[in-house]
Structure 1
Amino acid sequence: MNNFEKYNITPQLLAQWIQEEKDGNTELTHRIGFAFLYGDGGIQPNVPLGLKYIDKAAVECNDIEAQYMLGLFYENGNYTVKDEEKSISYYTMAAANNHAESQYALSCLLLKGSHKSPKWLYWMCKSHLNGFSSATEYLENMIANDGDIAKRTIEHQLEAISVSE
């Protein structure tokens, strides 16, 4: 079951959401986007329109879920072509909003992707501090494999984050 089956989306409900969104209810923007993307409840899938609404939710409404999902879509080429730069951009938006999974995903792209950056450690540590277990596991493995230098580097980064917040 995807996130939208619980809403029992019908074409009538979608039309109502679109009108309410036009009237200023921006909380519906990402729901509309995903409804078009997935084509649930008898609604014809319309990927370009779905992505347009999801992008609007991410950029104009600062919707963290939309930011994260677009990061995933562009990273993996789901519903669109792969675009690492766009993926990094959307993940960065969500990561700046303290979304731990986005922080981890961003860290991995900055570490291993074509846009390598030393900021990967900052985002990995932020993800760890926000309770994302994969980030914690990665840092623990880094210490286990690289010893004291890795431990001091991570401790220094964690301290810098706590001082800046």
Structure 2
Amino acid sequence: MRRLRIQILLSFMYLFLLSSHVKADWLEEAKQLNFIGDHVKVEKLIRPLAEQENAEAQWMLGLMYEDGRGVTRDYHQAVQWYQSAAVQGHAEAQLALGLMYAKAYGVALDYLETVKWLRLAAEQGNQEALFRLGDMHLRGKGVTQDYQEAMKWLHVLATKGIPAGQFKLGLVYEGGPGVTQDKVRAHLWFYLAEREGIRAAKKARIRVAKDMKPQQIIEAEQMAKRCQKSKYQDCD
């Protein structure tokens, strides 16, 4: 009996490794075909997998329909394939589906659906979803303006070392409804974003520094350096 259980276990391990190897093979082939611009072959490669509920293939096929690569552009088809992958938890498909609702591509404009799918993608750490959720709440685009909610998502992005998120987080700390103004932390995030090449961050840092005491500026720069040194784990 013990030998039988071991044989069954080894069989499952073999099948898992085989399926992983097959996925790596088709995905690598699809990338190479896409690189050389042979989108028709990409479509032929991934469609059977998409029809077998492979979420990665479904997302890729959705992209092809949205962009009109290898197939005739069809936003309705794109939404269907994104939806199929998104309900399986595919973060990139969740992001893509949310953006389709925001752009009214293949579906009616629906910001509630946009936020729903972006949130699911953001909860998996998708950087673009984190940025877009934070930015939507910061500007009140499609949702009620909510600086606390913007801070929540942008802080996650900023502490991943993403300059755009750092800049936006600085704007939140600079002042907004429902958030206590904190010029030191605003300067900190503007300083970090500036060092990563965000031009607007330099102007913002100079602007906020005009209303700060010299000791506050020194404190903000020290905090920024400590934050960077700790790989964004010690930023408060």
Q: TM-score range by the shorter chain?
A: 0.7 to 0.9
Deviation per CA, 1:135-156: give whole Å up to 9, x if none.
2233356668879657644543
Partner of 2:116: 52
Partner of 1:127: 193
CA contact (8 A) 2:163 2:196 kept: yes
Equivalent residue of 1:104, what SS? helix
**Structure 1: runs of 5+ lacking an equivalent:** none
Partner of 1:10: 75
**Structure 2: runs of 5+ lacking an equivalent:** 1-64, 232-236
Is 1:94–2:149 an aligned residue pair?
no
Aligned length: 160
CA contact (8 A) 2:66 2:75 kept: no
Residue 74 of structure 1 and its aligned partner are, at CA, apart by 1.0
Equivalent residue of 2:143, what SS? coil
More relative contact order, 1 or 2 (CA 8 Å, 6+ apart): 1
Equivalent residue of 1:49, what SS? helix
Larger Rg: 2
Residue type at the aligned position of 2:158 = A
* C-alpha distance 25-140 of structure 1, shift in aligned 2 (>3 A): same
Residue 53 of structure 1 and its aligned partner are, at CA, apart by 0.5
Report the Cα distance in structure 2 between the residues aligned to 1:51 and 1:9, rounded to whole angstroms.
23
Deviation per CA, 1:89-134: give whole Å up to 9, x if none.
1111211222212211111211222322342232222212222112
Residue type at the aligned position of 1:69 = R
* C-alpha distance 22-144 of structure 1, shift in aligned 2 (>3 A): closer
Residue type at the aligned position of 1:156 = Q
- 1:136-155 equivalence runs, <5 A: 136-140=202-206, 152-153=218-219, 155=221
* RMSD, aligned CA: 2.8
Report the Cα distance in structure 2 between the residues aligned to 1:111 and 1:144, rounded to whole angstroms.
12
Deviation per CA, 1:24-52: give whole Å up to 9, x if none.
43221100011012211x42222212221
TM-score (norm 1): 0.79
Residue type at the aligned position of 1:63 = N
* C-alpha distance 85-132 of structure 1, shift in aligned 2 (>3 A): same
Residue type at the aligned position of 2:197 = G
Residue 79 of structure 1 and its aligned partner are, at CA, apart by 0.7
Residue type at the aligned position of 2:87 = K
CA contact (8 A) 2:188 2:221 kept: no
Report the Cα distance in structure 1 between the residues aligned to 2:116 and 2:219, rounded to whole angstroms.
41
* C-alpha distance 110-36 of structure 1, shift in aligned 2 (>3 A): same
CA contact (8 A) 2:66 2:78 kept: no
Residue type at the aligned position of 1:120 = A
* C-alpha distance 24-82 of structure 1, shift in aligned 2 (>3 A): closer
Bigger Cα displacement from structure 2, 44-53 vs 78-87: 44-53
* C-alpha distance 125-21 of structure 1, shift in aligned 2 (>3 A): same
* C-alpha distance 120-25 of structure 1, shift in aligned 2 (>3 A): same
